[in-house]
């Protein structure tokens, strides 16, 4: 299964050449194609995953473009962010939207029971409602749920990727040490004795 995922990732990971040819990114190519945004480091990869998750859930169109442009401000890995936007696809989007609607309705219902003025009443007559509806193409409840789900998913994916990266690097280091130890044990240095 991991090999299948790795091959799918390799096939779908955008290359710098593809981004250069994109007519949408061409005006920003000088900034988006900087080499530090394409390196796989312990800081840039988790940022790319979190950013791609956030954009993939909240923005329904031109996700790769938005992810690539937002990578500039947080110095995230562009290919990882672009690939992570595929968390939403024709199969997962309906499930995410239904879940977001349930989360949004539950949060706004709980919010309405509080003593302070609920968020839902403040959003009803504001430009925030119009912005959420325009950005996500959803109703207020679903849009609010999408933002909450996206922030939580981005945070969890950042943490999971950071821990996964450290585990992977630690495992590589342990394997390298074991190989060196095994090589030393199988080929001990020759000691010459004086006569």
* Cβ 68 vs Cβ 25: under 8 Å: yes
Condensed to tens digits (0 to 9), the pLDDT of residues 23-71 reads: 766 766 666 667 677 778 888 889 989 999 999 888 888 888 788 888 8
* Cβ 132 vs Cβ 140: under 8 Å: yes
* Cβ 135 vs Cβ 128: under 8 Å: no
Better pLDDT: 121 or 147: 147
The residue whose two tokens read 């001990």 is 188
pTM above 0.85, yes or no: no
The residue whose two tokens read 């779908």 is 12
**What pLDDT score does 154 carry?**
92
**What pLDDT score does 156 carry?**
93
Domain borders along the chain are: 2-186
Closest CA to 108 of 123, 127, 94: 123
Condensed to tens digits (0 to 9), the pLDDT of residues 131-179 reads: 656 555 567 778 788 888 999 999 999 999 989 888 888 888 888 888 8
């Amino acid at each position: 299964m991991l090999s299948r995922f790795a091959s799918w990732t390799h096939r779908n990971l955008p290359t710098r050449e593809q981004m250069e040819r994109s007519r949408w990114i061409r005006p920003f190519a000088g900034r988006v194609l900087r080499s530090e945004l394409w390196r796989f480091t312990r800081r840039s990869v988790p940022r790319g995953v979190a950013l791609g998750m956030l954009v993939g859930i909240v923005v329904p169109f031109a996700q790769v473009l938005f992810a690539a442009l937002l990578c500039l401000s947080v110095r995230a890995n562009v290919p990882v962010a672009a690939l992570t936007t595929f968390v939403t696809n024709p199969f997962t989007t309906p499930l995410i939207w239904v879940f977001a609607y349930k989360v949004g309705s539950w949060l706004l219902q709980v919010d309405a029971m509080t003593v302070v003025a609920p968020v839902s009443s403040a959003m009803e007559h504001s430009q925030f409602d119009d912005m959420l509806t325009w950005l996500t193409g959803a109703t207020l409840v679903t849009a609010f749920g999408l933002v909450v789900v996206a922030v939580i998913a981005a945070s969890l994916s950042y943490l999971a990727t950071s821990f996964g990266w450290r585990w992977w690097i630690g495992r590589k280091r342990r394997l390298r040490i074991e190989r060196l130890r095994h090589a030393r044990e199988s080929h001990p240095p020759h000691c010459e004795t004086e006569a």
